[in-house]
Every structure is written in structure tokens, then in C-alpha cells.
Amino acid sequence: MPALILSLLLLAALLLLSFAAQNSAQLADVYAPLLVVNLVGIFVLLVFNLGSIYKLIKQVRAKVIGSRLTLRLVGMFSLLAFLPLSVVYYISIQFLSHGIDSWFDVRIEQAMSDATLLGQVSLESLKEGQVDTLIRYVPDVENTSDSLELISLLDRIRRDEEYNETAMFTQSGRILASSSMQPGTLLPSQPDERVFTALGNNAVYAEQETGIDGSRIFRIAVIVPPSIVGMPPHILQAIKPIPLRFANLESSINTAIGEYDRLLYLRGPIKFGFILTLSLVSLMTLLLAVWTATFSARRLASPLRELAEGTQAVADGNYNTQLPVTSHDELGILIKSFNRMTQQISKARENAQQSQLKLVEQHTYLETVLGHLSSGVLSFDANQRLRTHNNRACEILDIEKLDTLYNQDILSLANTLTSLKEFFTILNEAILANQPEWNEEVTLFTSHGKQVLLCRGTRLPGTQTGASGYVFVFDDITVMLQAQRDAAWGEVARRLAHEIKNPLTPIQLSAERIRQKYLHTLNDSEKQTLDRATRTISEQVESMKEMVNAFSSYAQPVSMNIHDINLNQLIADVVELHKGHSGQVEFTLLLDDSIPPMMLDSGRMRQVLNNLIVNALQALQHTENAKLLIRTQSGTGKNEKIVTITLEDNGPGIQNELMDKLFEPYVTSKEKGSGLGLAIVKKIIDEHGGAIWAKNMKNNGSCFNIQLPVKINRSTQQRQSTAETQ
């Protein structure tokens, strides 16, 4: 509004300035103040426009929404105003310059000179005619001597030639006779000194003069010779009014010449004034156009800016955005459509949130169920890509994470997880069979040994496109099968102890009685036979008793005496006992010093280490450069800290047919032995909550791994914490 009021005031000032430039005589006094007012107003309008443009540029730099469009519209509108205005200004300047210059063309000056000359020639011709006319009456006047006749003659001459006045003077200026159109006139117009001087030189005087009433007249005077010789001549004077057309022509010519001379003198200032006025008008018009462009661009871009801000708000998640409708044109229709769209999006978002909430609840419920299942779960989509799993599946398959393997097909999983290639291959075959239900027992050989999985598969219901997926549920039944075998072997051991051990004592006693009763009654050859037979029976019975006792010991629960021990020191002590009896075997110990004191049964652990070291030494009897490496290492298992004990030798290794049942009773590759050593070792490790497995090395030799959980006595742990604090 201030800019609009200022623009109107400037327009009024410019109109007054243009009037002042055109009518310099009437408005000359106010031209300079008007010029100052216009210059100040234009400067204020320029500052206003520059401020608006600067503010708009700052908004563009600040990346205000809609500012770039507004600046572009301002530039476009300003350019559309500037181009035609500059053309009109240029043409107007050229037209004005040439127009003013045309006022002072040489032909006009010549025409003015010719008109002046023509007027002068006409008046001169008229004057000469009047002189000739008056000279014709000189003889008549000369021959008249009577005063009354002279007066009558002057009166007749005046009437015939339409003079205003006729008179007869002496050379001294005395009036002899006169006649006038005005009856009340007593004295004629007296000639001055110029008349007498001119008559003395030329005998004729004829010039233009201004009459008493202000009209233009010819004063004509001629010499009248005297009628008597020796007398002085007289002067005949006639006053003839100049015809009105000649008087007006002269006045007009003189006025035009005066105005032309004035314009010629003011030629430069006039041109400068017109150019300055035109420049101010053009500059103000341009500034008004820029201001109008800025205002119009802001008004035009305002709905678009609001729409862009609303769109940005929707993009940021504010779906309740509503824009004010300020017009009913296409932009108003667009904003109404935007408001309807946001309302629909808001409703759809609410529905989606409710659906998402239900989906999250169902997903949480499903994750909770899957997370607390004791079975592993894997699901695949119609393209055999992994979609879902639970933590128990990772624990059973000994995989860190399956999240990173989502969307991989089952063959890619088999190639990525090479240790489980057989497992995923079997699952792939089950999917390709496309059976509604599938059940199979899968045996895997991992770094921990043999693992038996009971797998069950179910085909998922298909979608509208007919595609379906598959879900697999599997359990690790290795421990269960081992427990069943251990229970079976325990039952067998109890039965053997009961059924075999009881008859052995009577057999041994009967053999001794036979020997005591009949040995001294027989001859030497028979005595030797009887002695050898009874001794063999007794020895074999003792051997069977030892075997039955060992078997019975395996069947009984292991009694544990748990206390704090230093595992590294225990291993070093056991190895030191065997170094003296190991022959050429090279022992290497790599013990981790970070292993804390552990809650173990030292006696049972010595039994485990002795058994494994003895087995390794026996396997290395016929090996050159025999080596036995014993290593301990602390680490982290699935849910707790663990310690791994590794025994590696470079012997012949373990026979493949024994690998699956290596830790079962009566499984041995020795010629002599009960086959219970490794079974008892496994039982002791199981009682400690650990695991043991064996594998053959790539370059000959075997490797036994023992994993034990780190269980620390609470009092010992408190002492360690106190010591660390101190």
C-alpha cells in the first residue's frame, strides 16, 4: 500500500512536470521543485524495489520454499516490461530529438526571412505608391495661392485619397492649412526634426509611424516649390492609415520571428527538459513495473509456496496439513484437491497404522513364540529365498547370524555356508518334491563331530497367484540319542554286572578247589595240565571281573568334587608326568594366561588328560618326529565364556569307520583294551557341562577338542574384584 500511494503521487508529479516542460512560461517557477520531488520519489521507489529484491535473494539463498519461483517470475515480468519500454524510450528519444531539431530547420529560417522580406517589400511598394499619389497633387497645391482654396484643395485631396489628415507647413513648421477626418481636430500632426532633415536631403519623406490611437500610419511629406521666385518652399504632408491586412501581417511576422528567436535561444534547454521528463517517466514506469512484477510474483507464487510447504510437510510425515483457500481459480481448485488428498492420506495412514500395529503385534507374537521354541525354524518363500528364522536355528546350526543372509535362495545358502551344504541340499530336495508334509532325520558332520537333526517340513498355503513357500522345523537330537545310548549301555552294564559278576566267583572258587583237591593226586604231566587249566580259569575270571567292574563303573553316575583349580597348571603337571615315559615325542604347550581359576574336579580332569595323552602317545609309537601340541584358549560361546583345550598330534589319525562312534563303549582300534576310555572321558566332560569332539587333521594326525564353561567361585570372583579395585 505505501508503494502504491507513492506511485500515484509520482504519477501526479510527473504529469505536472510534463505540463511544466510544455508550458515553461506558465509553470517555470514550479519546474525545479517538481523535478526535485520526482527525483526524490523515484529514488525512494528504487530503494524500495532494491530492498524487495535483496530480501527475495536472501530467501533464495536461505532456500525458502517458493523464493526461486518468485525470483524467476520477477525477472521474467521485469524483462517483459523492460524490453518494450526500452524500445519505446529509444524511439521516443529519437523522435523527440528529430522533432525539436525540425523546428529549427534551415528552410523554416529561410521562410521566416522571406516572409519578413515579403512584408517589407509590400509595405515599401505601398509607401511608394502613396508618395507618387501625393506628388501628383504638388502642382495643384503650388498654383493655389488663396488660403480658402488651399484648404478646399487639401480637403478634396484627403477625401479622394482617403487620408486621415492633410496639411501645409512652412519650413519652419508653421501651419498654413490643414484638413482632417476628425472635425474636432484643430491642429494637424506636427512633423518632427527627422521629417525636415529627410526633406532637406531627398525632398520626400515617407515612413511608418504609430498614430495617436496606436494604429499604424504612413507619414508622407513632399516639398512644394514656391510660386514666387526667391520665396522658401512649403511642405505638403499627408497621413495615410496602413491597411489592416498589412498591419496584421507585419505584426504576425514580427511575433513569429520573436517566438522563433526565443525558441532558438531555448533550443538546448527545451530538448534537455523533454528528454529529462521522458527519462524520468520511463524510469518511474520501469520501477513501477518491477514493483508490480514483484508484488504480482509474490501473490502468484504465494499459493504455490504454500502448496510446496504443504507437500514438504506431507513428505515429512505430517499428513494432517490443510492449506487456506484464498481464491476460486485454478490455484484454488488445486489447493482444494491438495486438502482432499491430505485428508485421504491421513485416513489411509490411520488405517495403515492400525494395520501396522496389528501386524507388529502379530509379528511380535510370532517372534515371541519362535524365540521360545526349543526347535529351530527356517521359512522360505515361493522363490526358495530365506524369509524367517529364530535364534534356536542359529544355535543348532552353529551360525552367528542369518539376518544378513535374508533374500538369498537356498542354493546360495548352501554355497555360502559350506559346512551346512548337505543340510541345505536336503532341504532343497524337499522343496522341489513339493510335498505337503515332509519328515526326515539328517546327519551332519561338523567341526564338533556328528550331529543328528530331526527335520520336519510343511508347505505353506499359496497366495492368489498360486505361489507358496516352505517352513522347516528341526531339533538337534544328538544329545538325546547319545543319552539313549548311554542309558542303554548303562542298563546293559547293570545287567552284565548282575548276570555275569555273580557266577564268576563260584567259577573261580570251583577251579581253586579242583586244583587243591586233585593236584597232588596226579602224575607230573597231568599235574601240569591241571595247574595250567585252573590258573587260566582264575586269570580269565579276574580279567572278566575287572571288565565287569569297569563296565559297572561306567554305568554308575560320576561323583564330582568341584573346587577352584588352575587349569594351565594342571595340564603342565600331567604333561610333566608323561615326558619321562614318552620316548622321542616332542611336547609343545601353548597355554593362555588369561584363563581364570575354574570350578572343576581336578581328579577327573587328570583322568581325562591322562587318557587322551596316553592314547596320543600310543598312536605316535611308530611316527618319526612325533609331536604332541596341547593348547588352551579362552573365548566366548553362545551364551557364556568358555575355555577350549586342544590336543593335536601328527600320528596316523583316527579310522573313518570309528569316527562316528568314537566315544561309545567298546569302540577301540587297540589290540588290547576295554574300549571304555574315551566313553568315560566323554562322560566326565559331560558332567562338567562341556563338550568333546575329535577330527582328523589335513596333514595326518588327529585333534581332540574340549570345551568347558568358565564357572568361577563367587568368593574367588569377589577377591579378584577387590584386588583389581586396589
Mean pLDDT of 668-693: 77
Parallel, antiparallel, or unpaired for β 216-224 and 204-210? antiparallel
What residue spans of 104-177 are helical by DSSP H?
Answer: 106-136, 138-143, 147-161
Using the CB atoms, write b or e for 11-37: b if 16+ within 10 Å. eebbebbbbbbeeeeebeeebeebbeb
- Distance (Å, rounded) from C-alpha 597 to C-alpha 570? 11
3-state DSSP call for residue 469? coil
- Distance (Å, rounded) from C-alpha 613 to C-alpha 619? 10
As a three-state string, the secondary structure of 82-121 is: HHHHHHHHHHHHHHHHHHHHHHCCHHHHHHHHHHHHHHHH
Select from 288, 290, 287, 302 the least CA-distant residue to 69. Answer: 302
- Distance (Å, rounded) from C-alpha 31 to C-alpha 19? 9
| Whether residue 444 has pLDDT greater than 90 | no
Give backbone dihedrals phi and psi of 251, rounded to 5 degrees, phi first. -60, -45
| Whether residue 147 has pLDDT greater than 90 | no
Q: How many C-beta atoms lie closer than 10 Å to residue 276's C-beta? A: 15
Q: How confident is the model at residue 721 (pLDDT cuts 50, 70, 90)?
A: very low
Q: What is the DSSP letter of 285?
A: H
Angle at 284 between CA 280 and CA 289, to 5 degrees: 150
| Whether residue 404 has pLDDT greater than 90 | no
Q: What does the pLDDT read at residue 724?
A: 43
Q: What does the pLDDT read at residue 77?
A: 79
Is pLDDT larger for residue 246 or for residue 360?
360
| Whether residue 717 has pLDDT greater than 50 | no
The CATH classification number of 373-476 equals 3.30.450.20
| Whether residue 336 has pLDDT greater than 70 | yes
Q: How confident is the model at residue 723 (pLDDT cuts 50, 70, 90)?
A: very low
Asked if 106 and 269 count as a contact pair (C-beta separation under 8 A), the reply is no
Mean pLDDT of 570-592: 85
What residue spans of 137-266 are helical by DSSP H?
Answer: 138-143, 147-161, 193-202, 244-265
Angle at 103 between CA 100 and CA 106, to 5 degrees: 125
Residue 666: CB partners within 8 Å, gap ≥ 6? Answer: 674, 675, 676
Asked if 650 and 701 count as a contact pair (C-beta separation under 8 A), the reply is yes
| Whether residue 200 has pLDDT greater than 70 | yes
704: left (phi over 0), alpha (psi -120 to 50) or beta: beta
Give backbone dihedrals phi and psi of 583, rounded to 5 degrees, phi first. 70, -120
Q: What does the pLDDT read at residue 590?
A: 92
CATH architecture of 124-255: 2-Layer Sandwich (3.30)
Candidate from 106-110, 356-360, 435-439 with smallest mean pLDDT: 106-110
Is pLDDT larger for residue 35 or for residue 48?
48
Is pLDDT larger for residue 715 or for residue 316?
316
3-state DSSP call for residue 361? helix
The residues that bridge with 633 in the sheet, in sequence order, are: 644
Select from 319, 308, 318, 325 the least CA-distant residue to 345. Answer: 319
Mean pLDDT of 455-471: 74
The interaxial angle of helices 677-687 and 524-555, nearest 10 deg, is: 20
Using the CB atoms, write b or e for 345-384: b if 16+ within 10 Å. ebeeeeeeeeeeeeeeeeeeeeeeebeeeebbbbbbbeeb
Q: How confident is the model at residue 720 (pLDDT cuts 50, 70, 90)?
A: very low
For residue 664, count CB atoms less than 10 angstroms from its CB and return exposed for 0-12, middle for 13-18, buried for 19 or more: middle
Is pLDDT larger for residue 497 or for residue 708?
708
Q: How many C-beta atoms lie closer than 10 Å to residue 67's C-beta? A: 20
Candidate from 94-98, 626-630, 631-635 with smallest mean pLDDT: 94-98
- Long-range contacts of the stretch 351-358 (C-beta < 8 A, 24+): none
Q: What is the DSSP letter of 594?
A: T
Q: What does the pLDDT read at residue 589?
A: 92
- Cα 134 → chain centroid: 110
State pTM to two decimals: 0.41
- Cα 487 → chain centroid: 70
Select from 427, 419, 421 the least CA-distant residue to 377. Answer: 427
Select from 563, 511, 562, 578 the least CA-distant residue to 541. Answer: 511
**Mean pLDDT score of the chain, rounded to an integer?**
77
Candidate from 407-421, 472-486, 489-503, 521-535 with smallest mean pLDDT: 489-503
Q: What is the DSSP letter of 670?
A: S
3-state DSSP call for residue 347? helix
**Which cell is 679 given?**
566313553
| Whether residue 631 has pLDDT greater than 90 | yes
Q: How confident is the model at residue 725 (pLDDT cuts 50, 70, 90)?
A: very low
Q: What does the pLDDT read at residue 633?
A: 92
CATH class of the domain comprising 563-725: alpha beta
Q: What does the pLDDT read at residue 722?
A: 44
**What are the CA-CA distances from residue 43 to residues 7, 49, 107, 280 (Å)?**
12, 10, 43, 11
- Distance (Å, rounded) from C-alpha 656 to C-alpha 282? 106
Q: What does the pLDDT read at residue 17?
A: 63
